[in-house]
Structure 1
Amino acid sequence: MLGAYVIGIIVMLVSLFVSWRLKSKFNEYSQIGLSNGLSGAEIAQKMLNENNIYDVRVVSVEGMLTDHYNPQDKTVNLSADVYYGRSVAAAAVAAHECGHAVQHATAYGPLKFRSTMVPVLSIASRYMQWIILLGILMINTSILPLAIGVGLFAVTTLFSFITLPVEFDASRRALAWVQNRGIVTQREYGYAKNALWWAAMTYVVAAIGSLATLLYYVSILMGARRSD
């Protein structure tokens, strides 16, 4: 039990550091103007067009680092700093989100699998904490509620790990495109790569944190089974 708490605290601290580092890098690279002067929206549209994707819209959304691709309505959603920005950070993020659109258009396996998990994940996320709490309260009576809760949490953990290859592949596609098409200089490429690396690390830490929490609940469940 103590080991699980220690791991949880370490993961939380690492997560806070990575989140801070990502925001710091984004702010830093947002101050570095892109040599070609293109905005994030223009880069996104250009990448979509050059990948023969004409049914995806590029739109601006509120918030900071709220950028995402929505496969349901086929939109590349860019925060204002990225949509209107003409910086290295804007170029990196815009190309990354379009990387997801390219994945969707080419039926990239991990993205398809993650998309099929979304309905199940929605149900699991809505009820699992309550079921786990009920299971812990009833642990001396029945382990079934806790077992169900752990099973639901395992689904969310699997989703977080399936997300990793999706995110890394989108960054790989983005970096290859901006480099091959001359969107960035060699110096700007290094900045873009670093920015996307820190963004990817947030998903890595989230996956590890989810796994650590899952193992903690599993240890409780196993302890209850042994005491029966």
Structure 2
Amino acid sequence: MGGAYLIGILVMIVSFYVQWRLKRKFEEYSQVGLSNGMSGKEIAETMLRESGIYDVRVLSVEGKLTDHYNPQDKTVNLSPDVFYGRSVAAAAVASHECGHAVQHATAYKWLQFRSQMVPFLSVASQYMQWVILGGILLINTTPIPLAIGVALFALTTLFSFITLPVEYDASNRALAWIKNNRIVNEREYVMSADALKWAARTYLVAAIGSLATLLYYVSILMGRRD
């Protein structure tokens, strides 16, 4: 189990680094004004309209880096810095979230699969850690509770890996659109791609971290000792 523990620590360190880099990149590119002067809200509404999507609203939500697309109520939710911002960072984030709206409108299979898992995982996540804790305490009596907990955690790990193609595809759609429609110039495009690259890495590290944790629980279940 020592090996799995060390991997978990390493993943945690990398995760902190990636989160720090993402924050720094967003702050840096938030200071670079967009040459066309459009706000994140205007970019989002333009991308939706030119993608033939007219039933998705663009809203402002509180917080920093809280931007997301909600497929349930069909809203692109942008943080104030992105919604009102007229920067390279705002353009990258706004177009990325609209990339998810385009995925939804075109029935992108990975987004559909991910959305189908959400209701079950929302319920399972409330009890999963308690099941795993109870399973560890009862491991010498019966392996069944821990086995159930590991199975539930395996589904969350699968969910984190399914998220990867969803996020990378949304970024690819965003970058292609802002480039083809000349929302950004060449210099701004490079910055936008860099910002979205670091954003995607947060999901990659999260998936790897979830896998490392899963392997740790599996090693306990299988009774392995280093």
In the alignment, the residues of structure 1 paired with residue 183 and residue 173 of structure 2 have an alpha-carbon distance, to the nearest angstrom, of 13
After TM superposition, the structure 1 = structure 2 runs for residues 100-139 of structure 1, keeping only pairs within 5 Å, are 100-139=100-139
Partner of 2:56: 56
Give the counterpart letter for 1:163 in structure 2. Answer: T
Partner of 1:75: 75
Partner of 1:212: 212
Partner of 1:171: 171
Structure 1 unmatched ranges of 5 or more: none
In the alignment, the residues of structure 2 paired with residue 7 and residue 152 of structure 1 have an alpha-carbon distance, to the nearest angstrom, of 21
Partner of 2:47: 47
Q: What is the TM-score when the length of structure 1 is the normalising length?
A: 0.98
Query: Once the two structures are aligned, what percentage of the paired residues are identical?
Result: 76
In the alignment, the residues of structure 2 paired with residue 161 and residue 207 of structure 1 have an alpha-carbon distance, to the nearest angstrom, of 6
Query: What's the CA shift string for 1:148-204, capped at 9, x where partnerless?
Result: 000000010000000000000000000000000000000000000000000000000
Query: What's the CA shift string for 1:36-72, capped at 9, x where partnerless?
Result: 0000000000000000100000000000000000000
In the alignment, the residues of structure 2 paired with residue 28 and residue 159 of structure 1 have an alpha-carbon distance, to the nearest angstrom, of 31
Give the counterpart letter for 1:78 in structure 2. Answer: L
Whether 1:16 and 2:9 are equivalent positions in the alignment is no
Q: CA deviation at 1:2?
A: 1.0
Q: CA RMSD in A?
A: 0.9
Structure 2 unmatched ranges of 5 or more: none
- Where has structure 1 moved over 6 Å in runs of 4 or more? none
Give the counterpart letter for 2:96 in structure 1. Answer: H
In the alignment, the residues of structure 2 paired with residue 6 and residue 140 of structure 1 have an alpha-carbon distance, to the nearest angstrom, of 25
Secondary structure (helix, strand or coil) at the match of 2:76 reads strand
Whether 1:197 and 2:160 are equivalent positions in the alignment is no
Give the counterpart letter for 2:20 in structure 1. Answer: W
Q: CA deviation at 1:124?
A: 1.8
Give the counterpart letter for 1:41 in structure 2. Answer: K
- Do the aligned partners of 1:124 and 1:155 also contact (CA within 8 Å) in 2? no
In the alignment, the residues of structure 2 paired with residue 127 and residue 45 of structure 1 have an alpha-carbon distance, to the nearest angstrom, of 39
- Do the aligned partners of 1:124 and 1:156 also contact (CA within 8 Å) in 2? no
- Do the aligned partners of 1:128 and 1:149 also contact (CA within 8 Å) in 2? yes
Give the counterpart letter for 1:147 in structure 2. Answer: A
Give the counterpart letter for 2:107 in structure 1. Answer: A
Give the counterpart letter for 1:55 in structure 2. Answer: D
Secondary structure (helix, strand or coil) at the match of 2:223 reads helix
